[in-house]
Amino acid sequence: MSAAFSPTRTGIANLPLHYGKAPRWLFDRMVKLAREITVAIVADFGAQEMLRRLAHPYWFQAFGCILGFDWHSSGVTTTLCGALKEGIRGLERDLGFFVAGGKGKTSRRTPAEIESWGDRLSLNPEPLVYASRMSAKVDSAAVQDGYQLYHHTFLFTPDGSWAVIQQGMNETARYARRYHWLGERVADFVAEPHAAVLSEARGQALNLVACESAPARSTVAEIAAGEKPEKVLTDLKRLKTLELPSRHYLTTQDLHPDSLSRILLSTYERQPQGFEELLGLKGVGAKTIRALSLISELVYGVPPSYRDPARYSFAHGGKDGIPYPVDRETYDKSIALLRRAINKTKLGLREKNEAVGRLNNLWRG
């Protein structure tokens, strides 16, 4: 069986927001099963392949189902990542596989956790910290799709390979969106960097990492570094008097020129060389990027892309072709690998049978 797969099907599925925590009895079992499956997969395929699996949207969702969490819940992301992190605690060095970050306040400790492991492993943490920070910056500022990030898990190996699983919520629609990154596939942090984006539905979004946004990225960077802040603020004030299209990410209602003046002065003084460097500057967030994008489009005539980056659903597909035909090759490989991993674990017979039962239910569903 091949260790890697690359499906091309896309689609839509609902992922409603679920608040609260998994019951302790369930989480304890998820931790145990996550540990055993991870150990089995790393032993057979290596730590880098575990990164590839977790960055794969179908496999990640199937993994959550096998652990026993509701397939359609936003909590599968946070709970699976939490169970995985807890499950391998103390085994990280032996596995050569590390997990940092998590939900809410824990996500903000990601850089410190990476640096701590760097000290213990004689590993330069800077590229990993940069990858963690930029993936979060991209999904919170360069992609403005209405989902506020609240979860960020960073997974890595001692050779510097990495993956990111992060999730955002839309409080109004009460749905979540998950963003997958795989370091080996990221040639450019601001040009189509995602391994997958999964969502409740596809629509429009301010998408500055789309390939067709390349001219806009250049223009935005040139405005930030080349135009005096006074002129940028004047343009922005003029735009606030216009009736813009009714797209939530184009609104100027929360853009206040006076409050942006400090950060625009900072970007002008620091002269960022390109969009990625601009995005990486401290203080540059969604409002700054949206303001510069508006000026790029409406003053300079260089629009960004409004293509929603979501390309995957939260399922393998439907046997009736809704939302799209089942990608049987990918589905079969997901199930075969998980069944093999379950059989190799040191779980008791009852636990193995229960896990295989959930796997079979997933296939029949």
Domain boundaries, the chain: 24-203+310-364, 211-307
Length of the chain as a residue count: 365
Q: Which two tokens stand for residue 78?
A: 């946070």
Backbone angles phi, psi at 24, to 5 degrees: -60, -40
Note the pLDDT tens digit of each residue in 319-355: 444 444 445 676 567 667 777 777 877 777 777 777 7
CA distance 288 to 347: 51
CA distance 45 to 1: 11
Residue 362 confidence (pLDDT)? 59
Residue 152 confidence (pLDDT)? 98
Q: Is residue 14 scored above 50 in pLDDT? A: no
Q: Which two tokens stand for residue 38?
A: 């991870």
CA distance 44 to 62: 19
Q: Is residue 18 scored above 80 in pLDDT? A: no
Least confident of 67-76, 136-145, 239-248, 352-361: 67-76
- In 3D space, the residue among 159, 153, 304 whose CA is nearest the CA of residue 217 turns out to be 304
315 vs 146 pLDDT, higher one = 146
Residue 262 confidence (pLDDT)? 94
Q: Which two tokens stand for residue 239?
A: 């735009």
Cβ contacts of residue 107 below 8 Å, gap of 6+?
Answer: 101, 136, 149, 150, 151, 152, 153, 166
Note the pLDDT tens digit of each residue in 166-222: 999 988 877 889 999 999 999 999 999 999 998 877 778 999 999 999 999 999 999
Residue 361 confidence (pLDDT)? 66
Note the pLDDT tens digit of each residue in 39-52: 989 988 999 999 99
